[in-house]
A and B are shown apart, each in its own frame.
Chain A
């Protein structure tokens, strides 16, 4: 069973046809990068994978999106359960205005976990997985917003990991960070790949090349090319892909 399988997905915002017949399968424990110029549909497609577009009134979808074999737009799917399994990390770190501890524990509590020792253990484990534990273990009661941008982003990743997702979607997770914090996030993505399936949207070509196993190039709402990252960045088969990755358009 494939973690992510999209079949002939079309997305409309009102009259605007923003995703055109996208079919794509993503394997387990891989990192897949979505690249393409602004407005190409890569973020829209990413958000389709955990129904983040549901909030947009004019949003309309055709085609099928399967997560772990289940069509996620079926009526019997609870969006809260879906988003627990398919976590999301956004472009700008968005910790809650609470303590570091509360940020990670929040998701666990709303999903009904009550045992303090169990929550403590999960918070510690998640912060360790996000490679943040050693930096925050002595100030868990401090406000999350007192952390640096890079630390805040890793905290958001820890918050996502706490509720045990199988898939993590990342929408330009390092675009607001300095090079050192970016390197830490990339290192983290590499480590998380062992246990999770990761999809990342990025405008940074080198980042896509460094962190991903496969790359999908989107242009004007179409999936132009989807292949191993090593192929896309050495000899892509489509001229548009080549022009984009070599900086000749977009």
Chain B
């Protein structure tokens, strides 16, 4: 066995663990909304620190592998992809944290209704499904689930566009609550952005497995 192999295995496991943690954060946000349970939201806030620690562990793994094993080809791509994926995951986790912050402060019945109107739980479900695909892709080293998830990002984009109109309507109907409604819209913006980040992760997985660069395809065509 090559000396680098156990190190790469640890890196892969750490990355899968981080992905599972971020997915779990999103799932807990769904539960917090469904059960109107602020304690679940507070749990999400507590878990955030663990995700940051995990990101640092992955950074350290990558630095060690680069310095001690000078990886090339597929090994090098795994290290590069892991650094980028960990960074994307941390930012996705930030979205869950922002949402959990709102949910932890017992926002009240009308807020939950607006969240439903703005399809926040539906967006969270799509995100969880995309992250699940990423987990399969990483575990099985298979690009198919990753590419499947890329398509799901379009659904999130559609939700985001519709939410703009819904937000405007809600503000007209509830002018005194415009600040709260706008902050919910910012949550939606974060979730849409998380979809983009998950798409980036899918692209990194394809890069790692197939050495194929998918990002900035439009720029390449020019």
Contact = CB atoms under 8 A, between A and B. Distances in A.
B2 A248 contact: yes
Interface string B209-221: 0010000000000
A205 to B, nearest CB: 7
B76 interface: yes
Interface residue SS majority, chain A: loop
Interface in B2-56: 2-4
A246 B70 contact: no
B73 A247 contact: no
B4 A235 contact: no
A121 to B, nearest CB: 43
A233 interface: yes
Interface in B44-86: 70-77
Contacts of A248: 2
Contact of A235 (B2, B3, B71, B73): B73
B90 to A, nearest CB: 26
Contacts of B72: 205, 209, 233-234, 245-246
Contact of A247 (B3, B76, B211): B3
Contacts of B71: 246
A9 B159 CA distance: 64
Contact of A233 (B2, B3, B4, B73): B73
Interface in B64-116: 70-77
Interface residues of B, number: 12
Contacts of B76: 233-234
Nearest to A245: B72
A21 interface: no
A242 interface: yes
A242 B75 CA distance: 10
Interface in A166-209: 205-206, 209
A88 B172 CA distance: 84
A241 to B, nearest CB: 8
Contacts of B3: 247
A236 interface: yes
B211 A206 contact: no
B76 to A, nearest CB: 7
Given A233-B73, A247-B3, A247-B4, 17 more contacts: A205-B72, A206-B70, A233-B72, A233-B76, A234-B72, A234-B73, A234-B77, A234-B211, A235-B73, A235-B211, A246-B2, A246-B4, A246-B73, A246-B74, A246-B75, A247-B2, A248-B2
Interface of A: 205-206, 209, 233-236, 242, 245-248
